[in-house]
Chain A
């Protein structure tokens, strides 16, 4: 295989792996549920996109034909990741999960739980 192509694939794979690792590291490290939610939903999605692009290039060069399954997986993850993040945030709100003390705007959680308008005009 062409060494330049190989290098490009390696860069994509490494970047993907780094972001996946970072997402899980954030999941382990961050202090409360809502901050934890940020790391895996985004970093992991981007990391997986990196892996998928890498493997797409690999199969394109190696098999001499376009393998587009990966695009389907990327698209699927891109659509489902925000939906599941939203559902988990909603679940956490309704279960009154402990919020980090210095979080500002905590008075909004009660209104959000009951799906009312915010208690004061914040805009």
Chain B
């Protein structure tokens, strides 16, 4: 059964996303579009599956949902903070480069962590070291380096580790 599924539906999550995006793009649920969306959702993954790279799987879906909500909330709240910083006097800014040690492994979890760091205001991820042990970030206004690293590790990295079970 599983072999049959892997043969004909190699990427179920991506198939679902394709199906939904096609319907969203056309903004309709007419039978024709449903048929076309199903066709694309089946054929495109079948064509690109050989190019797929092995990625860690999402283990805990609920943590993923909670993590998304946390990040959205953080984006909203912290944006106001950066807005005040931008409007306030430039002289008071204390920008900094900080190196954060990475505990997560694999390309996808590190990408998600880096994107989260870039989206939550005040920090931009700039570079990942070759051995994937350190991520370099630029901070708009640094007050306490230790606290910032601890916050990134506890608030973002721990849930990511939980989600991917690594």
> Residues of A at under 8 Å CB distance from B?
19, 22, 25-26, 29-32, 34-35, 37-39, 41-43, 45-46, 66-69, 71-72, 78-79, 81-83, 85-86, 89-90, 92-93, 100, 102-106, 108-109, 111-113, 115-118, 122-123
Contacts and interface: CB of A to CB of B under 8 A. Distances in A.
Contacts of B131: 117
B118 A81 contact: yes
B24 A71 contact: yes
Mostly, the B contact residues are: mixed
B127 A123 contact: no
B86 A22 contact: yes
A46 B95 contact: no
A108 B145 CA distance: 14
Given A35-B140, A86-B126, A112-B127, A104 B75 contact: no
Interface of B: 21, 24-25, 27, 75-76, 79, 82-83, 86-87, 90, 93-101, 114-119, 121-122, 124-131, 133-134, 136, 138, 140, 142, 145, 149
Nearest to B146: A123
A111 B127 CA distance: 10
Contact of B138 (A39, A89, A117): A89
Nearest to A37: B124
Contact of B130 (A37, A93, A116): A116
B97 A106 contact: yes
Contact of B118 (A22, A85, A105): A85
Name which of A26, A37, A85 has the most chain B CB atoms within 10 A of its CB. Answer: A85
B25 A90 contact: no
